[in-house]
Amino acid sequence: MKKFLALLATCAIILSLVGCNSGTTDQAEAPATDETTEETTGETIKVGVSIYKFDDNFMTLYREEIDSYFKTLDDGNTYEVTIQDGKNDQAEQTNQIDAFIQQGYDVLIINLVQSTSAATVIDKCADAGIPCIFINREPEEADMNLYDGQDYEGKYTYVGADARQSGKFQGELIADLENKGDLNGDGVLQYIMIVGDPENVDAKYRTEFSISQYLEVSGNEVEKLDEQRGDWDQAKGQEITANALVKFGDAIEVVFANNDAMALGASQAIAAAGRTVGEDIYLVGVDALEEAKQLVKDGEMTGTVLNDHIGQSHTAVDAAVKAVKGEKLEKYYWVDYVKVTSDTVDDFLN
Ligand code: BGC
């Protein structure tokens, strides 16, 4: 009987501890130890991540870093991280999000397939009371304001880098060259633009701001010879550049690629056409992928811009943890881009 009473008392303590646990997670998995008196210590937190597609160089680094950074967290909780491939299909990704919600996940980290789907995802998460961290593909401002003044405000956020800055840096990489990229000295920069995905703000802003900043810094004119959609993809970058080199030949002074994957493709096409970066053509990208940094070091790319997947993934994870602990999130968390030139590349190489 004594034993039974002791057991009852222990159960009562455990029940009160679980009950007091400030609702940070709706899972009743907290172990029956005194440690549970800490806010979320000792809990199992289920984190659902959906990446717009796995087959993307930059987002592969990003998602791997999300996973490894969660493993380094040492706050007494267990983070069970499930990362899914959106396969570049919004319907597929929406199903994944629905399943995460139905299975009682505690927080979601979402790299949208289509930024325009943000409102739907926010509504679903708000209904379920699950915090949501958007990464890499910035939702419309109106969507980020949807829950202002309501309970769900501060439970969703966007973590990213300001693509305007990366575009400006690309423009400066060319404008800061001694000849301002104007190989034929006619005061006009003849260029081609390889666009990521025109629906994506990163692509829009890089396309726009690389050129506006070039105009501002150089004082030159520009002439766009070609602009094609390359879907952030290396093979498409190669094909677009190869075709443009056939069509416009020596007239092309600069290839602007919205990301490094496409710039790597462009670099292959440039070499195949017998052109030499730094001598008779210039090439810039964004991301600072290892391969691109190596090309910058070897003089085969003019420069790139570091898209800090480490800073962004850590910020996203930190925000997810905060949200799970019931802390209010900022609406945006920004991580800076950094210019990478042949002079500075050594500082960035691993
Ligand atoms: C990166 C690209 C990537 C894209 C995915 C951009 O920020 O620069 O490399 O393909 O995000 O959304």
Distances (CA, A) of 350 to 163, 287, 299, 301, 304: 24, 14, 18, 18, 15
Question: What is the atom index within ligand 1 of the atom nearest the CA of 163?
Answer: 7
Query: Starting from the edge strand earliest in sequence, which strands make up the sheet with 107-110, in order?
Result: 78-85, 44-51, 107-110, 132-135, 156-160, 332-334
Of 262, 338, 349, 259, the closest CA to residue 305 belongs to 338
Our mutation pick for probing the ligand 1 site, out of 90, 209, 259, counting the most ligand atoms within 8 A of Cβ, is 259
Distance 212 CA to ligand 1 centre (A): 21
Report whether pLDDT(38) > 50.
Answer: no
Q: How many Å apart are CA 46 and CA 105, to the nearest integer?
A: 5
Atom of ligand 1 nearest to the CA of 52: 12
Q: Where are the beta strands (DSSP E) in the chain?
A: 44-51, 78-85, 107-110, 132-135, 156-160, 188-195, 221-229, 254-257, 282-284, 303-306, 332-334, 338-341
Please report, as a single letter, which amino acid is at residue 134.
F
Give ligand 1 pocket residues (Cβ under 6 A): 56, 58-59, 136-137, 200, 202, 232, 259, 261, 286-287, 307
Return the CA Rg of the chain: 24
Domain architecture of the chain: domains with CATH: 45-161+308-335 (3.40.50.2300), 164-306 (3.40.50.2300)
Per-residue pLDDT for 4 more than 70? no
Decide if 129 contacts 105 (C-beta within 8 A).
Answer: no
Would the pLDDT of 24 be above 90? no
Taking CA atoms only, the protein residue closest to ligand 1 atom 10 is: 232
Residue 121 or 10, more confident: 121
Tell how far the Cα of 307 is from the centroid of ligand 1, in angstroms: 9
Distance from C-alpha of 63 to C-alpha of 121, rounded to nearest angstrom:
20
CA of 145 to the centre of ligand 1 (A): 24
The reported pLDDT for the residue numbered 260 is: 98
- Between the CA of 304 and the centroid of ligand 1 the distance, in Å, is 13
For residue 276, CA distances in Å to 139, 241, 267, 288 come to 39, 14, 9, 20
pLDDT(123) > 50: yes
Give the C-alpha separation, 334 to 160, whole Å.
Answer: 5
| pLDDT greater at residue 17 or residue 209 | 209
pLDDT-derived band of residue 244, with 50, 70 and 90 as boundaries? Answer: very high
Judged against a pLDDT cut of 90, whether residue 26 lies above it is answered with no
Given a cut of 80, whether residue 300 has pLDDT beyond it is yes
Mean pLDDT of 235-250: 98
Q: What is the DSSP string of 164-204?
A: HHHHHHHHHHHHTSTTTT-TT-SSEEEEEEEES-TTSHHHH
Kindly tell me if the per-residue pLDDT of 21 is higher than 60: no
Q: How confident is the model at residue 40 (pLDDT cuts 50, 70, 90)?
A: low
Letter for the amino acid at 30?
A: A
Instruction: For residue range 84-106, list pLDDT tens digits in order.
Output: 999 999 999 999 999 999 999 99
- How remote is the CA of residue 125 from the centroid of ligand 1, in Å? 25
State mean pLDDT over 323-333. 98
The SS3 assignment for 150 reads: coil
Cα–Cα distance, 180 to 226 (Å, whole number): 20
Which residues, at least 6 apart from 331, have a Cβ–Cβ distance to it below 8 Å? 144, 145, 157, 158
**What is the DSSP secondary-structure string of 307-320?**
--HHHHHHHHHHHH
pTM of this prediction? Answer: 0.86
Share of the chain above pLDDT 90, in %: 87
Average pLDDT over all residues of the chain? 90
Q: What are the tokens at 61?
A: 């680094």
Query: Between helices 90-102 and 118-128, what is the axis angle to 10°?
Result: 10
Return the pLDDT at 82: 98
pLDDT of 12 higher than 80? no
Per-residue pLDDT band for 199 (boundaries 50, 70, 90) equals confident
Mean pLDDT of 121-147: 97
- Mean pLDDT over 143-157 rounds to 98
**Ligand 1 mean position to 59 CA, how many Å?**
7
Q: Which atom of ligand 1 is nearest to the CA of 287?
A: 8
